[in-house]
Amino acid sequence: MDLFRKKEINSLTDCSEHLLKCLSATDLTFLGIGAIIGAGIFVLTGIVAATQTGPAIVFSYIMAGLACAFSALSYAELAAAIGGCGSAYGYAYAGFGEFIAWIVGWDLLLEYSIAVSAVSVGWSSYFNDFLLAMKIHIPVFLLHGPVDGGIINLLAMSIIGVLSILLIWGVKSSSRFNTIMVLVKLVVIFLFIAVAVMEVNPKNWVPFSPFGWSGVMQGASLIFFAYVGFDAVSTAAEEALHPQRDLPIGIIGSLLICTTLYIIVSGLLTGIVHYSTLNVASPISRSLLMLGYKTVAGMVGVGAIAGLTTVMLVLFYGLSRVFFAMARDGLLPQFFSVINIKTRTPVRIIILCGLIMALTSAFVPIGDLAELVNIGTLFAFVIVCSGVIILRYTRPDLPRPFKTPFMPYVPILGIVSCVYLIFNLPWFTMLRFIIWMMIGMLIYFTFSRLNSTLQKSQECPAE
């Protein structure tokens, strides 16, 4: 029983004959921005500033951004060298072998599905506020699940249904929709920056770090959620026109743009109002209302809806592509690896995942389960950073159009920073993650190992 049998690099790069290649470097960059800018900048910034960091939140964004940058450089090298097939899952298959690849893939399924469900609940709240402003009232029992005093979260369920249809329609259509939504939220962010620059009061930055350096680091652990999503760019490898060239551009470019915007927005936000007033779910809108900019505040609300929509779309897209890669490899039922002839998309996977996430968001309170997104992402980052180091020594001959600089220090720093952030998460989050992984291992040993296409090819070698 070979738990660590590896896929050849060639089989990873040559597995893209089924999905439609249509995404450019610009599409991939917008895909990354669509996944990253969402709940973090529109929700978390105010809460973290008010309770953890004060105006020093800019340093929290820098620290969390650096941790992501180390991992992003590692992702970029593996994406350029290996190319397609399921993001960190495919990289783990090449670097560590099948069992570790299964663990990473199972982890990514949790990360993306919980993230989409959690964000859909936040989206429903923002969209309900928008409907109320239009004097459209939805009964309260249709806005919350049973645990929260309602019957069903109809809005959360509906948006996942809409995104399912969009993804089934085709990746190019989904990409166009994502680009439009990204442009909307970028316009809103730049509008806030233009207004805030004129309203900054330096007195609001005093004291600059009321909670000390420990508060800055605790804030960085929470702020990390604002960066979740750039790794979803690598799941688009099979549909990228030039994956070896364009994936590094999309990964690093989107992270760089978003980090810059995060630092500017958080600095201005704490400059126009006192940080202690920002402990609300809509800090940007609230700060603008306090200054009398009602119209701009309303536009920010629209931008928040657009931002959360693209986060769900891109993470749902990433979920379906990881699921597809695992099903094609036989680690999940190959029934789901069928591609629709007309749309060139994995329709069965999209329908299954859409139903599960819609039901989850409709009836289950997400709450602290959202922290599973962080631990799942960080775990995948650790594997990717480790994979870069291992492949440098085991496959020195592998063509690398992009190389991680300062090897092995950059990936080592990525591993250390991610492990540090993992240990800053609550213990029950780790416990739930371990339980999920144990379920995954049970499935691997009872189904996946026996049905793996790699296993079957070794049992029946070609003559």
| Domain residue limits, the chain | 9-459
pLDDT of residue 355: 96
Q: Is the pLDDT of residue 8 over 80?
A: no
Average pLDDT over residues 239-243: 81
> 189-239, pLDDT tens digit by residue?
999 999 999 999 999 999 999 999 989 988 888 888 788 777 778 777 777
Task: Label residue 118 by pLDDT band (50, 70, 90).
Answer: confident
> 358-389, pLDDT tens digit by residue?
998 888 765 555 667 778 888 989 999 999 99
pLDDT of residue 365: 64
pLDDT of residue 376: 86
C-alpha closest to that of 67 among 403, 378, 387: 378
Q: How far apart are CA 202 and CA 209, in angstroms?
A: 14
C-alpha closest to that of 407 among 70, 172, 114: 70
Task: Label residue 261 by pLDDT band (50, 70, 90).
Answer: very high
Q: Looking at per-residue confidence, does 331 or 17 come out higher?
A: 331
Asked if 125 and 281 touch (Cβ cutoff 8 Å), the reply is: yes
Q: How far apart are CA 392 and CA 397, in angstroms?
A: 9
Task: Label residue 149 by pLDDT band (50, 70, 90).
Answer: confident
β-bridge partners, 240: 23
pLDDT of residue 241: 84
Average pLDDT over residues 426-449: 92
Asked if 48 and 280 touch (Cβ cutoff 8 Å), the reply is: no
DSSP string, 353-369: HHHHHHHHHHHS--GGG
pLDDT over 70 for what percent of the chain?
A: 93
Q: How far apart are CA 269 and CA 288, in angstroms?
A: 9
DSSP 3-state assignment of 22? coil
Helix axes 294-328, 98-133, angle to 10 degrees: 150
pLDDT of residue 449: 93
pLDDT of residue 19: 66
pLDDT of residue 9: 62
Average pLDDT over residues 134-155: 85
Asked if 357 and 160 touch (Cβ cutoff 8 Å), the reply is: yes
Asked if 91 and 253 touch (Cβ cutoff 8 Å), the reply is: no
> 21-51, pLDDT tens digit by residue?
778 889 999 988 988 888 778 878 888 999 9
> 178-199, pLDDT tens digit by residue?
889 899 989 999 999 999 999 9
Q: How far apart are CA 325 and CA 323, in angstroms?
A: 6
Long-range CB contacts for residues 88-92, cutoff 8 Å, separation at least 24 = 88/231, 88/234, 88/380, 88/381, 88/383, 88/384, 89/322, 89/325, 89/326, 90/7, 90/12, 90/237, 90/325, 91/383, 91/384, 91/387, 92/383, 92/384, 92/387
pLDDT of residue 129: 80
Asked if 90 and 84 touch (Cβ cutoff 8 Å), the reply is: yes
Task: Label residue 100 by pLDDT band (50, 70, 90).
Answer: very high
Q: Considering the domain 9-459 in this protein, what is its CATH number? A: 1.20.1740.10
> 54-85, pLDDT tens digit by residue?
999 999 999 999 888 899 899 888 887 876 55
Query: Which helix (H) or strand (E) is 37 found in, with range?
Result: none
Considering the chain, what is the average pLDDT of its residues?
86
pLDDT of residue 448: 94
DSSP 8-state assignment for residue 230 = G
pLDDT of residue 18: 61
Q: Is the pLDDT of residue 11 over 60?
A: no
Hey, how many other C-beta atoms are within 10 angstroms of the C-beta on 449?
Answer: 20
Q: How far apart are CA 289 and CA 80, in angstroms?
A: 46
Q: Is the pLDDT of residue 392 over 60?
A: yes
C-alpha closest to that of 380 among 327, 336, 422, 329: 422
Average pLDDT over residues 234-254: 83
DSSP 3-state assignment of 350? helix
- For the chain, the straight-line distance linking the first and the last C-alpha, in angstroms and rounded, comes to 23
